[in-house]
Structures are given as structure tokens and as C-alpha cells.
Structure 1
Amino acid sequence: MSGQPNPRVGFFVTCLVDAIRPGIGFAAIQLLEEAGCTVEVPQQQTCCGQPAFNSGDDADAARLARQTVAALEPYDYAVLPSGSCAATIRHGYPDLLAGDPKWAARAAAVAAKTHEITSFLADVMGYVPEGRRLNASATYHDSCSGLREMGVAAQPRALLSHVEGLEMRALEGNDVCCGFGGTFCVKYSAISNAIVGEKAEAIERTGADLLLAGDLGCLMNMAGKLHRQGAKTRCFHTVEVLAGCADGPAIGEET
């Protein structure tokens, strides 16, 4: 391992994972512990404020930012299973609180130690999954915030390369938006539906059994469209495959 031994990690679960797919959180914690981290889930965490921030409600976003900064300050690292939420803390908080003399430095300090989980495992901890096998083919969608704001691209693919039996297939337009975009899919539903329709067609053309990505919002959007089109592609968060937890219901299949 290349990271510091036994770092104390504050795990930020995210709203969607907590409410919709908590198994992603458990899989992420499993991987962090395998990597040698001491993991805690701060009980005072709620929403990171991304919906408010993206909608221009800076006052409420800043209120949530202060609460999150206070929750994550005690830890060596803050780690999230979402590139978009991680980007909000890493890049949004310093801007939101730049004019607040009591919080600007604190926000910058938390931002500097905030990581998306696959990037943290690969780049900080030097983690390699061992003893994982999944006899399936998969394709990978690069979510916008994770790719463009957090630099997450090679890391999940490198980690997945250690899963025996998993065949990765290239996705045409892998770095093109799926149409979710947080509140974008609500405000501009027709445009969002057209975008995800093109994405679903590209996914089906790969013939892959699985679609993997690092943001649950994107996965829910794509899984919903694939299901409505009658596709057999099953959708999982990357950490679920890495943790050996892809043998249960896929996203959108929960009863």
C-alpha cells in the first residue's frame, strides 16, 4: 500500500446511496477496510448541498457545506462513492465559503482531503482487489463530474482489471453525459430523455452483460431507460463488482 498506514476515513454515504441503494455504501466500506483504512460514518452528515448549489441556491448550499465540513474535519480523508458529490465538496465548497472568514480555510482543508472512492483506493492507498471473480462482460460509463472535476477515468478500469473473468468492452461515447445531471433531468426532461436514449442504444451495441459506473444517479437514469426499452443489460456501481457483491439484484431490480 502506498497510503499512510491505517488512515482514519470519514465515509460520506450520499443521499441516493443511503435512500436507494445502501449496498453500495456497504461495498465501499468493505473495500476501504480491505485497503487498511479505519472507516467511520459521521452521523451528522446529511446532503452535501449539490442540488441547491447547482440550482443557484447558494445560501442553503453554504449552510449544508458548513455542516458537512464540520462533520468531515476530524478525519485524515473524506471518501465518497460519487464523483459528483465529491466534486461538490472538493470544488464547490471553497467557492461557496470563500467570503466567510470563519469557514473559508476549514472548507479548503476538507476539500483538499476529499476523494472519490476508486481514485482514493488506486491513487492514495495503492489498493488491488484480490480473489475476485465475475464471469461476465461489462462496459463502463464515465460520469461527468467524476471524469471532468475529479479526474476519475483510469482508476476504476485499473481496479476492475483485477477481477478474474470480467471482460471489459469499450463504450462508444463513454465520456458523453447520460442526461441525468442532477436537477437537469427534472428541469429539462425531454432533452434528458433524448440524451439517455442515445446512451442506452450505445450501451446495447456493446452486447455487454453489465453496465458499470461510479455515480448512482447516472446509473439509475441509464438503468431506467434500458429497462423501459427491454434491454437485458444489468447495472451496478463499480464498487459492487470490486467487492464481489454483484450477484444480487442490479440497480432497478430491487423488490
Structure 2
Amino acid sequence: MSVALFVPCYIDQLYPDVAIATLEILERLGIDVDYPGGQTCCGQPMANTGCQDDTAPVAKRFVDLFADYEAIVCPSGSCVSMVRNHYSEFFDANDKDFQNVTTRTYELCEYLHDVVKLDHLDVTFPHTVSLHQSCHGLRELRLGQSSESMEPRENKVRKILELVNGIQWVEPDRRDDCCGFGGTFAVNEADVSAEMGRARIADHCDKGSQVLASADMSCLMHLQGLIRREQSPITVMHVAQILTGRPLDAH
């Protein structure tokens, strides 16, 4: 197998270890990984703010850069959802490059679950973990079951993490509530956003979780800020870091 690795801009700038961990897990599985030079943002921040004219050239650059790859893997459900579900506003439906990119872009756990069909990992992570399921991952990529849906869905992120030895799972009471980030929502509605984040952190802490894990570093970035300011007894980690056995004390 061969893939192109797309690293979201905020991971590139703020959480490079998540990108490195993603590369490591793919290469450990014998996958040939290419990192296309010149990649930037998927355009989601501008699109969410309503700046369509600013989004269009970013989306076009993304499609031009990744059009010839058989698969594009990204450690961010929200960025993948942007490409798969929202690029249609900027391209003709019959554009072959657009079709190739939007049908071949995968969130990391989705790729490992659906394409690689991963069933074994020689990794140990002996800690108590709870899972935060991002809104984009659940409701746009269908990576798991959301409480408002009657259609049963396998939790692909949890299934992949369950391959890691030593994890002890705890479940929050409200397993699919939003963390409150929402990109520019956190700026425009800062108080509401922070209160939503505090509620998520309290739910996970109350269950005795040591590690709040997620497939979306944007959610974890928001929660990590609140955790650090309020000194809550929990650590955030991206699933890629757990899949490669990163030590807890490194976070």
C-alpha cells in the first residue's frame, strides 16, 4: 500500500509529534508514505467563518496537490470531513481530480479499520483511558454511534485503540457531547465554549480517566488549554500517540 500523508496546519505548527506518530504507525505497518511538499491548510477555518472566496483557492491547491494519490490519510476527522463533505461547493461535480481526492481521503483510524483492516498491534499502553468522540468524526464521517441516531455503527476509533495492550477503559456519561471548540465558535462565544469544555473534562475526570483520547487534536487543543489552566488531573493524547506507545509522562 502507499498513501499521501496530509498534516493539518495546526498539527504542523503546534503538535508535530502527532504527525510523527501518524507517520510511524503507517510505516510500521509496511505502508509506503509520501509527504507532498507545499501542502498547507484544507480551508476549514475560512469556510466555517463564511469566507468562501478565501476558501476556494486553498481547496483547489489541496486537490491539485493530492489528486494523483491512491489514498490520502490525515490524523484529523474535521479536516477529512472538510475535504469529503464540503469541497463540493468549490468544484464541478464531474471534475476528476476533485472526485479522486474526495473519495480517497481518510481519517487515520478509519483508514486502519476500513482499508488496512488492522487486527493486531504489538503496543502496550497501561493506563486508564476515556474517549472523546468529535462531532465531525461522529456526525459527518460516521466513525461511531451518535446518541441521536438509531442506525447502529461500529466505533472505528475505539476498535483500533482496543488493539493496544494494557488499556483500561472508562466511559463518560455523555459520550458524544461536543467539547465546545468549534473553531471560530470558541472565539465568538468564548464563555459558552469554555463551559462546554469544562463539562467534558469533569465528566471524564469523574470516571477516573488518566488519559482523554481523541482522533481530533483540535478538540484536544481546546480541552488541554482548560486542563492546564485549571490543573485538572487528566492528560490529553491523540490516538496516533497511543497507537505508537508514547509514554504518558511525555505529555
What's the TM-score once normalised by structure 1's chain length?
A: 0.90
SS of alignment partner, residue 40 of structure 2 = coil
Deviation at residue 105 of structure 1 after TM alignment: 3.5
How do residues 144-155 of structure 1 correspond to structure 2 at under 5 angstroms?
Answer: 144-153=135-144, 154-155=155-156
Q: Is the 8 A contact 1:93 1:108 kept in 2?
A: no
**% identity of equivalent residues:** 30
Aligned to 2:226: 225
Does 2:17 align with 1:26? Answer: no
Contact conserved, 1:129 with 1:242, CA < 8 A, in 2?
no
Residue 206 of structure 2 corresponds to which residue in structure 1? Answer: 205
* Alignment of structure 1 residues 127-166 onto 2, 5 Å: 127-153=118-144, 154-166=155-167
What is the number of residues matched between the two proteins? 241
Does the 8 A contact of 1:137 with 1:168 survive in 2?
Answer: yes
* Amino acid aligned to 1:132: V
Contact 2:171 2:204 in 1 (8 A): no
Q: Which amino acid aligns with 1:111?
A: T
Aligned position for 1:73:
67
The alpha carbon displacement at 1:182 in A equals: 1.0
Aligned mates of 1:129, 1:231 — CA distance in 2: 33
Which structure 2 residues correspond to residues 19-168 of structure 1 after superposition, within 5 A? 19-98=13-92, 104-153=95-144, 154-168=155-169
Letter in 2 for 1:33: E
Contact 1:35–1:121 (8 Å) recurs in 2:
no
Aligned twin of 1:3: none
| Gapped regions of structure 1 (runs ≥ 5) | 1-5, 251-255
Which contiguous aligned blocks of 4+ residues in structure 1 show a shift greater than 3 angstroms?
none
**Unaligned segments of structure 2, at least 5 residues:** 145-154
State yes or no: 1:16 paired with 2:10. yes
From the superposition, tell whether residues 28 and 129 of structure 1 become closer, same or farther in structure 2 (CA, over 3 Å): farther
Find the counterpart in structure 1 of residue 174 from structure 2: 173
CA–CA separation in structure 2 for the residues paired with 1:234 and 1:201: 13
SS, match of residue 9 in structure 1: strand
Write the letter of the residue equivalent to 2:223: M
2:8 and 2:40 in contact (8 A); partners too: yes
* C-alpha contact (below 8 Å) 1:140/1:211 kept by paired residues: yes
Structure 1 residue identity aligned to 2:101: V
More displaced, 10-19 or 126-135? 126-135
Amino acid of the structure 1 residue aligned with 2:53:
A
Equivalents in 2 of 1:55, 1:248: separation in Å? 37
